[in-house]
Structure 1
Amino acid sequence: MSLRRRRAAVVFRLTVVISVVAGIVLTALGPATVTGLLPYFTIQSNVAVGLFAGYACWLAWRDRPEPPAALKGAVTLYITITGVVYHLVLANPASPFAMPQPDRALGEALGNQFLHTVVPLLAVADWALFDRRGRLRPRYAAWWLAFPLGYLGFALVRGLVVDRYPYPFIDAGELGYDGVGISAVLFAVAFWVLGLVFVGVDLVLGRVGRGPAPDDPGVVDRPVGEPVG
């Protein structure tokens, strides 16, 4: 990564970290406490992005290799899930799983937007702008489901203890375990497809960045060392 790009990456990733902290702090100013927020996928995915962005920022500052592409793809997918599920499912009045949106004070409303809109957009932009392309593989999309499925198990076990579930589509008290199972399968397929989209975009951009293959008929042979164009 060139010096100019490294500097841009450092500034961008610091912005991500600040946005995560601002989102959590502002949200905690409302009725929810920090410990009360922790069981939510939203908070966990934002914390993961904040920690990862901080680490990647340090690597860029020290001019060290970027973190593993598979790990960054996973973190980016999880925060994308947070944004997509919030806007299309939870905050969408047409969704069967829409949650009532309370009247929020300005600070809490800003925190909500940071966590569900600003941070997901920044994370995807960081992935698109600063990652080396062509390093993701289709099998990663299946591996990336490990955390959402683990979270599902955590939420169901916690629900047995506290009789409360963080999201209506995994509320075993309302849907029953059969209903939660159907919901989980549908969401898992959707998340897998979304992961494949990330892999596909990465591969396409990687090929575009490399240009045509040497055996492409459109490539004219040139002496070794002769500049192209």
Structure 2
Amino acid sequence: MASSQTSGAPAPRPGVVLAARVVYGAVALAVAVGLVVQITLIFSGGTDANSGASGTAVPLATRLVRLFSFFTIQSNLVVCVVAALMAMDPRRDGRGWRVAQLDALLGIIITGVVYDIMLAPLLHLTGWAEVATILLHYVSPWLAVIAWVLFGPRRRLGIRTAAAAFIWPVVWLVYTFAHGAVTNWYPYPFLDAGHLGLAQALVNAVMVLVAAVVLAVVVMIADRFVPALLSPRVGSTPQPASADPTGPVAAP
């Protein structure tokens, strides 16, 4: 997955690499704690920080399926894995890895923005559920963005990498509507086709996707022009906007 170090950009100072390890490690730890708290609440019949639902009237298996059907949980899982791997090797690179990094960043930003604007006013959480939502909806997005802004790495994102990063959200939407059609349960009110009607729910989904595309463009511009403390891994070529990630990652 990682490209070899041969020639090209100079290696960053050891202190920068250490700082990146610490920051990305903090991201992974915060998300892991939030996920553990939330999963524990589900097993104990506590409150789901995503929906506010609680109790054991719904079978545990169903509660777990619903939990992992939330985009919040999926995006935080991606962030946790990506941040943990970045903590081990902050200059990790690879074609699939670039997609995973972009998925983590876009997914968690959308999670934070959608929750703060559309969902937080509907929920009034207390206790451990409030702890979980703070970690998964606020701390995780902010820390992930700060880590990427500070350390990058940069100049890795092209149009095809961005396109590949949208496979997961689109598959999630297809699953959400298919699962909802069978169970009449939808993870978010703005996607509730049973209540809003399928047409309006699809319009809402498309609006969120369009917002995500705009966000992806902003991230690609920042990736291209905003400096970061970590230079591209030696042996990697900065990826132009039209580059095909299936091609070779050659030395500059």
Residue equivalent to 1:65: 92
Task: Pick one of 107, 118, 121 that aligns with 2:139.
Answer: 118
User: What SS is found at the alignment partner of 1:74?
Assistant: helix
Task: Pick one of 105, 109, 115 that aligns with 1:80.
Answer: 109
TM-score, length of structure 2 as denominator length: 0.71
CA contact (8 A) 1:17 1:54 kept: yes
Q: Compute the RMSD of aligned alpha carbons.
A: 2.3
> C-alpha separation between the residues in 1 aligned to 2:93 and 2:151?
9
TM-score, length of structure 1 as denominator length: 0.78
- Residue 75 of structure 2 corresponds to residue 45 of structure 1: yes
Task: Pick one of 204, 218, 222 that aligns with 1:201.
Answer: 222
| Structure 1 stretches lacking a partner, 5+ long | 93-99, 211-229
> C-alpha separation between the residues in 1 aligned to 2:103 and 2:148?
11
Aligned-residue sequence identity (percent) comes to 34
CA contact (8 A) 1:169 1:180 kept: yes
> C-alpha separation between the residues in 2 aligned to 1:55 and 1:140?
19
- Residue 117 of structure 2 corresponds to residue 101 of structure 1: no
| 1:11-50 deviation digits (Å, cap 9, x = unpaired) | 1122111111211222343334771421100000001110
> C-alpha separation between the residues in 2 aligned to 1:184 and 1:108?
27
Residue equivalent to 1:31: 47
CA contact (8 A) 1:142 1:192 kept: no
1:66–1:5 distance in 2 versus 1, CA, 3 Å: farther
1:148–1:26 distance in 2 versus 1, CA, 3 Å: same
1:148–1:15 distance in 2 versus 1, CA, 3 Å: same
> C-alpha separation between the residues in 2 aligned to 1:113 and 1:40?
16
CA contact (8 A) 1:134 1:205 kept: no
User: What SS is found at the alignment partner of 1:185?
Assistant: helix
1:1-229 alignment, distance < 5 Å: 1-28=12-39, 29=41, 30-32=46-48, 35=64, 36-60=66-90, 65-66=92-93, 68-92=97-121, 100-102=122-124, 104-206=125-227
> C-alpha separation between the residues in 1 aligned to 2:155 and 2:119?
34
User: What SS is found at the alignment partner of 1:71?
Assistant: helix
Q: Which has the higher contact order (CA 8 A, sep 6+)?
A: 2
Q: Rg larger in 1 or in 2?
A: 1
> C-alpha separation between the residues in 1 aligned to 2:33 and 2:156?
32
- What is the identity, as a one-letter code, of the residue corresponding to 2:148? W
| 1:115-146 deviation digits (Å, cap 9, x = unpaired) | 00100111111111112322222454443322
CA contact (8 A) 1:172 1:180 kept: yes
